[in-house]
Amino acid sequence: MNNKIAIFTWYNDDRNCGQTLQAYALQSAISIINSTYSPIVITYLNDVKKRIYKNQYIYYLRRYIKLGPWKGLKQIKFNNFIKENLKVSDPFFYIEDIKKYLERNNIHNLLVGSDQVWNPQKELDPVYFLDFGNGFHKNAYGPSLCDKFYMEKYGYRLKSMQNLLNDFDIIAVRENSGKEILTQYIDKEIQVVLDPVFLLPKSFWCNLAENSTIKLNQKYILIYCLGDTKQCENLVNNLFPQMESNLKIIYIAHEEKHDYPHQWIKINYVGPYEFLYLIKNAEYVICDSFHATAFSIIFQIDFLTVPSIRKNFQTSMSRVTDLLKQFNLQSRYIEGNFSAYERINYQGIINQMYDKREKSLATLCKILESY
């Protein structure tokens, strides 16, 4: 039996902590299930500008110069985490080069990982639909699509991948909404699983969080916004009078130029370790992020999630609302006015999380057994 597995997912694009951690979680879960498996995450640089620089060293040098000191220092945190924890391939710019690598290394087991690699709001890439021809075992664990609302406009992109989807043995998506979308295009059973970060227990993530270079000794509300901070600010203003008076407001800066209130304490250069630590030790989390929401649940932290408003891109929030519905936490998603705040009772949610983790792990095991 050939136990080499190539994972196709995003793991180091735009310095997104959740993206990196979900890739690490899937690779780790596979190795924990069976230590004889050898999963490797394929490094695919699919941006046109990246392809101009066929010499990877010139590309990375130019990348750091263009990033500037703020993003460059943050990128170093991500690079260190990846070097210490993930097994990844050398970078590839073209699908033909990936296929040659797979054949040269006798890798026939392919797995599309999680995150929004199947979101048709952006141009879909055949690499993430495993367009490598015959001779490969193809499966998917946890890819995310978009709100059904957007399919009228972008459905043609997914339809163009219809034949490739039919080549998959097992498809397990991250959201029920994704399952409903895919069943319109392929005649195949679609399963729904948890995001890979839920495949690993709380203790696993707690241990990883201890590697954070940031340590805080005060109680705080954590703000994590990938988009505009205004909604989080409004929520904090409503909540703050109901909370303990000694709480600080810690703001993880995803982008250097995002506006934020002067009383917030801004923390720069947050990598995956720091992201985990800051959520784990928060009294409350207010965010517009799927993975900040997911880790708040894993660490059993009180949280509220708001819609993400980003410049030039309308973000699908069905991935968040689907997640909250699985744990009966729909009330934690705030779109309008908010008045009273209640603590989350995690007692029943912990049991739900365990049951859903076991079912998701069973699906992943089934995928691995198909290889």
For the cut 70, the answer to whether the pLDDT of residue 48 exceeds it is: no
Give the CA dihedral 134, 136, 140, 146, nearest 10 degrees. -30
For the cut 80, the answer to whether the pLDDT of residue 49 exceeds it is: no
CB neighbour class for 104 (10 Å; exposed up to 12, middle 13-18, buried from 19)? exposed
């340590």: which residue's tokens?
Answer: 215
């995803």: which residue's tokens?
Answer: 254
Q: Which is higher by pLDDT, 150 or 142? A: 142
Give the Cα separation of 192 and 336 in Å (integer): 29
For the cut 90, the answer to whether the pLDDT of residue 345 exceeds it is: yes
Structural contact between residues 161 and 132, judged by C-beta atoms closer than 8 angstroms = no
Mean pLDDT of the chain: 89
| Res 317: pLDDT | 83
Q: What is the mean pLDDT of residues 298-314?
A: 81
Asked if 4-199+355-370 and 202-351 have one fold, the answer is yes
pLDDT digits (tens, 9 = 90+) for 160-214: 999 999 999 999 999 999 999 999 999 999 999 999 999 999 999 999 999 999 9
Report domain extents, the chain.
4-199+355-370, 202-351
Q: How far is CA 194 from CA 26, 115, 304, 361, in A?
A: 11, 11, 20, 9
Q: Which is higher by pLDDT, 104 or 242? A: 104
- Tell me, what amino acid is at 81? F
Question: 4-199+355-370, what's its fold?
Answer: Rossmann fold (3.40.50)
How many percent of the chain have pLDDT more than 90? Answer: 68
pLDDT digits (tens, 9 = 90+) for 56-77: 556 556 655 655 555 677 888 9
Q: Which CATH class is domain 202-351?
A: alpha beta
Confidence class for position 263, pLDDT limits 50, 70, 90: confident
Structural contact between residues 81 and 271, judged by C-beta atoms closer than 8 angstroms = yes
Q: What angle do CA 349, 353, 359 make, to 5 degrees?
A: 145
Helix (H) or strand (E) holding 177: helix 176-182
pTM of the model: 0.92
Confidence class for position 253, pLDDT limits 50, 70, 90: confident
